[in-house]
Structure 1
Amino acid sequence: MDDKRNIIMAVLLTGIILFGWPLVMEQFFPEMVNQNEATEQAASPAADPASADGLAPAVSTDTGANDIAADAVAGTIRPLAAVLRENPRVLIDTPRLKGSINLQGARFDDLTLTDYRVALDKDSDPVRLFSPSGTENAYFSRFGWAGKDIALPGDKTVWSADQSKLTPETPVTLSWNNDTGQSFAITLSIDENYLVTAEQSVTNRGEADIAVNPFGLLSRVRNPNTIPSVEQDSWTIHIGPMGVFEETANFDTDYEDVEEAGASGVSANVTNGWIGFTDKYWLGALIPVTDTKIDGKFRAGSGDVYQAQISRQNAQIVAPGKVLTTTTRLFAGAKETALLDTYKEQYNITLLDRAIDWGWFYWFEKPLFYLLNWLFEMVGNFGVAIILMTFVVRGIMFPIAQKQFASMAQMRAVQPKMKKIQEKHKDDKQKQQQEIMKLYKDEKVNPLAGCLPIFLQIPIFFALYKVLMLSIEMRHQPFMLWIKDLSAPDPLTPVNLFGLIPFDPPSFLAVGILPILMGITMHFQFKLNPQQMDPIQQQIFSFMPWILVFIMAPFAAGLQLYWTVSNILTIIQQKWLYSRHPQLKEMMAKEAEEKARKEAEAKG
């Protein structure tokens, strides 16, 4: 009766895992198979009509409050090429960025990343980060001033430029003058990577004091309802509003929080910090270069428009003949780990490296990333680098595995005594457990010692998951044969006869070759382990590899490769340890013969 009950429980557990796991994946883990589609959608111009409300800053000079008023920008979504031709522009040309600056409004609204492609095909379009207002997924940055009783440049102002192209060697100064003696200038410089420096200056040639407040903003349209492949915030990766406030990286604010905040928005102290929007691989961030108190704010407008803004706490008074200069940096590019670390140290940007959502174990995950990246640079193939890293991990854990094997030998040695206790107290489970625990104590056996390597593998596995999931360096990295992207799931599945049948199975059924190999190697690994005394435990161990095949199917192929190679190394290690402990192997053989004899008798 107990065996039947255990079998029923095992079957129910299997069903819960198989059918409940997709719901868990959807709730807590980002969808990995659509990462290229999301980028492609963000890079493509729209054809459908829509309307949107933009947000424009209106900083009050009398109170110093950081208020933002809605500035409606309604109309149909237009093709990107057409919008780019509407206004005069200054080209952006660097080794890693291409695009242009819109002289109407002095907007960075046209930016592509030349090192990264939308899809695996090398001929596919480069990833587009910024797009002008009026196009789908509009996303741009702008610098300006707010104030009262003074003519200020706005988002419709057409600026003059002293250069036709912004490059690392040629900064560009944008200028505009009003009719009351004030001159405004924005001097832009850019490095060879993703950092722009904007120096805003206002010169007062009038006869009276003026009060102005320089600001910088990032504005973007995000509509996951009409664009299903837009990346979603999840338990394992933060996507959306982000910044470093009070010298602490803030991952707690999402788009829904900004919407719920209403007119007041979500405010933060950005002094010695930064504010912006983070995606899985890309970042747009405003970084004030000053020790003066800087206020930051996230606001939401209609039409799925979101804005991040920085400004000083109070308006600045500029006397006649004086100049007020403010410097802000703009990061717009890929979240490359080494580059973020370099910027953090070079420009003293607080916690810029935490733009990558490493989580609580970043102190372990970043060294793991650097190890993988170093191995990749050595061998030139990221799949091979994962295999080499697996050797390193197994080598470090080898002494622990030896202790685990010694514990297994001790457990084997006391099993005859355990069987006697189980037979003697088969009707009194409590007494049986007490006697077994006393036996463990007398024989100095720790039944949990064998679990230590498994527990140590968990943080390694999770760290590798985060590295593969978040690191732009791992995106679109091939291994060999059909594995073209180790950061995506294994695409080849026998469910549709490896693509011969025109059928796309759901993610939890699209079991690739790598997860199948992982299950097979785990099955043989478990076969080498001593049998469990508890029948239900033995049953769980017997079908656990096949459950994990389905669980691991939606994960990155790199993870599946790591686990498969780790299983193979474990099997080799166990074979070698068995050769060092032949008595244990003999005991296992005798137990297997005894089990086979009992099964034959039961059938006969």
Structure 2
Amino acid sequence: MTYISSILGSFLKLIYDMLVSVLPSEPESVSFYALAIIIATIIIKAAVLPVNLHMIKSQKKMAELQPEIEKLKKKYKNDPQTMAVKQQQLFKDANYNALSGCLPMIIQMVVLIAFYRVFLSPEIYAFTDKVAFEAMNKNFFHMDSLSNVDTTLILPVLAAFTTFLTSYITTKNPATQATQNAQTKSMTTSMMIVMPVLIFWMSRNFQSALTLYWTVSNTFTVIQQFITNKMIAKEVAEELQQ
């Protein structure tokens, strides 16, 4: 994790230095530091798009299997164990891995933890000149410094809301809905409530730089998942019409 934090820290510093050298002056409401966090987050999310595209292909395959899954549900509606076995066999024959959609979330959590280390010790991973780092602007609209906790709770609320929105729009994925049973749906609903509360609590205690990263990352994910859902829904509709 230290190695990943060093890479992310160096990348953040590179973006910051580029902003300082390219822009004629620092915006009054948004510091170069805040802009560097936003830009770095977007670039990192874009960099893992190939992983997400693989996930989309997997979800499309799930959409193609949807009619067969519906047939199995009707045929074995009174025999859930046989239904589960037949469904797993269907997935195996189609070379479909139901866990493939977890990879983007794992990557996101690894980056989150690595960035936490960067913002916790920026003098180690990013801005090695501690004096210069302490002297530079870190304001972001209502905040004087992203190194502090947001006592107004604006960023924590945004982080919690975008976390909820990410979970909610993911549950609307037709491919995901097809693989969920009653127990899984109940667990998903619970997590959709628990995670935003957890993120809100964490954001009240962590540096706002990390909260800003999480909010921007979630926003990117929501937009991406919305587009994915539309693509999968169209695929499902076409398969059901055949």
Provide the TM-score with structure 2 as the length reference: 0.73
How far apart, CA to CA, are the structure 1 residues paired with 2:86 and 2:195? Answer: 32
Partner residue of 1:482 out of 134, 142, 161 = 142
> Structure 1 residues 540, 362: closer, same or farther in 2, change over 3 A?
same
Q: Is the 8 A contact 1:522 1:545 kept in 2?
A: yes
Partner of 1:276: none
Amino acid at match of 1:370: S
Amino acid at match of 1:486: L
Partner of 2:119: 468
Partner of 2:10: 370
Partner residue of 2:188 out of 538, 555, 562 = 538
> Structure 1 residues 408, 475: closer, same or farther in 2, change over 3 A?
farther
How far apart, CA to CA, are the structure 1 residues paired with 2:237 and 2:165? Answer: 18
Amino acid at match of 2:157: I
Amino acid at match of 1:514: L
SS for the counterpart of 1:439 is helix
How far apart, CA to CA, are the structure 1 residues paired with 2:72 and 2:54? Answer: 26
Query: Unpaired segments of 5 or more residues in structure 1?
Result: 1-360, 493-511, 588-604
How far residue 541 of structure 1 moved from its aligned partner, in angstroms, is 4.6
Give CA-to-partner distance per residue, 1:393-438, whole Å, 9 cap, x none. Answer: 1121011111112222222332343344345445544333222210
Amino acid at match of 2:141: L
How far apart, CA to CA, are the structure 1 residues paired with 2:120 and 2:46? Answer: 25
How far apart, CA to CA, are the structure 1 residues paired with 2:237 and 2:191? Answer: 22
**In percent, how many aligned pairs have the same letter?**
26
Partner of 2:210: 559
Amino acid at match of 2:116: Y
Q: Is the 8 A contact 1:475 1:487 kept in 2?
A: no
How far apart, CA to CA, are the structure 1 residues paired with 2:237 and 2:157? Answer: 31
Within-5 A mapping of 1:201-220:
none
Partner residue of 2:155 out of 471, 491, 514 = 514
Select the structure of larger CA radius of gyration.
1
Partner of 1:62: none
Give the structure with the higher percent strand: 1
How far apart, CA to CA, are the structure 2 residues paired with 1:400 and 1:491? Answer: 36
How far apart, CA to CA, are the structure 2 residues paired with 1:563 and 1:407? Answer: 26
How far apart, CA to CA, are the structure 1 residues paired with 2:168 and 2:236? Answer: 12
SS for the counterpart of 2:196 is helix
How far apart, CA to CA, are the structure 2 residues paired with 1:427 and 1:537? Answer: 22
Amino acid at match of 1:436: Q
Partner of 1:184: none
Q: Is the 8 A contact 2:64 2:236 kept in 1?
A: no
How far apart, CA to CA, are the structure 2 residues paired with 1:395 and 1:568? Answer: 13
Q: Is the 8 A contact 1:520 1:545 kept in 2?
A: no
How far apart, CA to CA, are the structure 1 residues paired with 2:200 and 2:226? Answer: 28
How far apart, CA to CA, are the structure 2 residues paired with 1:446 and 1:518? Answer: 31
How many residues of Structure 1 are paired with residues of Structure 2 in the alignment?
208
How far residue 569 of structure 1 moved from its aligned partner, in angstroms, is 1.4
Q: Is the 8 A contact 2:38 2:213 kept in 1?
A: yes
How far residue 584 of structure 1 moved from its aligned partner, in angstroms, is 4.0
Amino acid at match of 2:221: T
Structure 2 residue 44 is the aligned partner of structure 1 residue 393 = yes
Structure 2 residue 169 is the aligned partner of structure 1 residue 528 = yes
> Structure 1 residues 557, 441: closer, same or farther in 2, change over 3 A?
same
Provide the TM-score with structure 1 as the length reference: 0.32
Give the structure with the higher percent helix: 2
Query: Unpaired segments of 5 or more residues in structure 2?
Result: 21-31, 128-132
Partner of 2:25: none
Within-5 A mapping of 1:78-89:
none
How far apart, CA to CA, are the structure 1 residues paired with 2:144 and 2:10? Answer: 22
Give CA-to-partner distance per residue, 1:8-52, whole Å, 9 cap, x none. Answer: xxxxxxxxxxxxxxxxxxxxxxxxxxxxxxxxxxxxxxxxxxxxx
Structure 2 residue 65 is the aligned partner of structure 1 residue 446 = no
Partner of 2:23: none
> Structure 1 residues 585, 489: closer, same or farther in 2, change over 3 A?
farther
Amino acid at match of 1:365: S
The alignment yields a C-alpha RMSD, in angstroms, of 2.7
Amino acid at match of 2:13: N
SS for the counterpart of 1:370 is helix
How far apart, CA to CA, are the structure 2 residues paired with 1:433 and 1:582? Answer: 24
Amino acid at match of 1:376: Y
Amino acid at match of 1:539: T
SS for the counterpart of 2:225 is helix
